[in-house]
Chains A and B, each alone.
Chain A
Amino acid sequence: MNLAEGVQLVSFGLLSLMTLGAALGVVLLSNIVLSAFLLGGVFISMAGLYLLLNADFVAAAQVLIYVGAINVLILFAIMLVNKRQPFSSLPNAWIRRGVTTIVCAGLFALLSTMVCATPWAISSAAPAGDSSIILIGEHFFTDFLLPFELASVLLLMALIGAVVLARREYLPEEAQSPAETVLMLPERPRETVGAGSPTE
């Protein structure tokens, strides 16, 4: 990135404001669809921050994978389960909220003081910049070859696992006449258990 120092500072400020505001919206808003769209805003501003950090390949991958795949997946899940019911209020919810706020603020203060107090060994070498994608490819096929292959196996496992989990249950023991089973997949009819009732 060949940007002047002031330009970098201003764009960092804008992007961090966007990131923090959208993240607070994701957590605090009551409308879940709005939260999902704000989550896309968080991902896009994170891609902008990656561009400021001289990482164009990872910024493109962030937009493609997070905004294009994960955010769309979350939106699909919301549309599939979106039930407009108000949650029953808990008796002591404010205690949990207050304790969590205190713990999060304390953790943030601790991390900030740690970041400011540590003498970082800032390297003065020129950043890789445009050749970063070549370096990442070399890392993938030399010293990170085993994790790279394991990641592909993990993605395959996650794919099959998600299909198995999201599918309706299959009852193989019900013997049906072959004429019926030709055209339809035998599925158990949907039967929901009430949330409060004991399961059998």
Chain B
Amino acid sequence: MQLQYFLILAAALFCIGIYGLINSRNAVRVLMSIELMLNAVNLNLMAFSNYLDPQTIKGQVFTVFVITIAAAEAAVGLAIVLAIYRNRDTVDMEQFNLLKW
């Protein structure tokens, strides 16, 4: 088992997350893509913590913090999606042009 395998897997997951973030039409799917990217970052931190710093596992502490932030982000993001849906009656990202131009 090597560190590189985990890092490459995390890079692939991050790229999939970016693709979904840009190409999704549904606002909830955009939030799911953000969760994928946060998970990729977590996997990076855990791999570094296991292979480079196995005695004082600071990477795991950082991962716990990232999970906390992700939970807060998901709650606020979904509340914003609900509020926009109530206003505009759609979840299409292309229709959310209130702040454009």
Residues of A within 8 A of B (CB): 5, 8-9, 12, 16, 19-20, 23-24, 26-27, 32, 35-36, 39, 42-43, 46, 49-50, 52-55, 57-58, 61-62, 65-66, 69-70, 73-74, 76-78, 80-81, 83, 85, 87-88, 90, 96-97, 100-101, 103-105, 107-108, 111-112, 115-116, 120-123, 125-128, 132, 135-136, 139-140, 144, 147, 151, 154-155, 157-159, 161-163, 165-166, 168, 190, 192-196, 199
Contact = CB atoms under 8 A, between A and B. Distances in A.
Nearest to A101: B19
Interface string B1-40: 1011111110111111111101111101101110110010
Contacts of A192: 86-89
Interface of B: 1, 3-9, 11-20, 22-26, 28-29, 31-33, 35-36, 39, 42-43, 46-47, 49-58, 60-61, 63-65, 67-76, 78-83, 85-92, 94-95, 98
Contacts of A78: 28
Contacts of A121: 52
B10 to A, nearest CB: 9
A90 B92 CA distance: 12
Given A69-B71, A162-B78, A162-B79, 12 more contacts: A20-B9, A35-B32, A49-B6, A83-B90, A90-B94, A103-B18, A107-B14, A120-B4, A122-B3, A123-B52, A128-B54, A158-B76
A77 B82 contact: yes
B55 to A, nearest CB: 5
A165 B80 contact: yes
Contacts of A9: 1
A196 B78 contact: no
Contact of A166 (B58, B70, B79, B88): B79
B22 A100 contact: yes
A54 B50 CA distance: 7
Contacts of A166: 78-79, 82-83
B56 A74 contact: no
A83 B64 contact: no
Given A26-B36, A115-B4, A115-B7, A136 B95 contact: no
B82 A81 contact: yes
A122 B36 contact: no
Contacts of A162: 75-76, 78-79
